[in-house]
Amino acid sequence: MNGWIGKVLRVNLTDKTVGVEELDSKMARDYVGGRGLASKHLLDEVDPRVDPFSPENKFIFATGPATGTAAIGGNRYMAITKSPLTGAIACSNCSSTMST
């Protein structure tokens, strides 16, 4: 998911389909950052009673507004899902060094 270009890429591993959707710009402003935007999608689209290992759970990758820029920390992305350990939202963020 990269809300900062106004697009959401959806990949369904069960039926092997891919689709691109427009992102609501108000949602992108209201839930700034990869973690906020991905958490909002997870809360809206996954039943809180779903088993974390079921196909109905979602695994979301999201970037923040500084991704692709030269900003310090701008090369981060988040992985968000329902945690099998706690049943709550699990968030992991990753980055790498930018080379010139």
* Res 3: pLDDT: 44
User: Which of 47, 41, 45, 49 minimizes the C-alpha distance to 79?
Assistant: 41
> For the whole model, what pTM was predicted?
0.81
Name the percent of the chain in helix, strand, coil, to the closest 5.
Answer: 20, 30, 50
Q: In CATH, which superfamily holds the domain spanning 3-94?
A: Aldehyde ferredoxin oxidoreductase, N-terminal domain (3.60.9.10)
Name the residue ranges covered by the structural domains of the chain.
3-94
Per-residue pLDDT of the chain (100 residues; tens, 9 = 90+): 444 678 899 999 889 999 999 988 888 889 888 889 999 999 999 999 999 999 999 999 988 777 777 777 777 888 999 999 999 999 998 876 655 5
* Res 99: pLDDT: 55
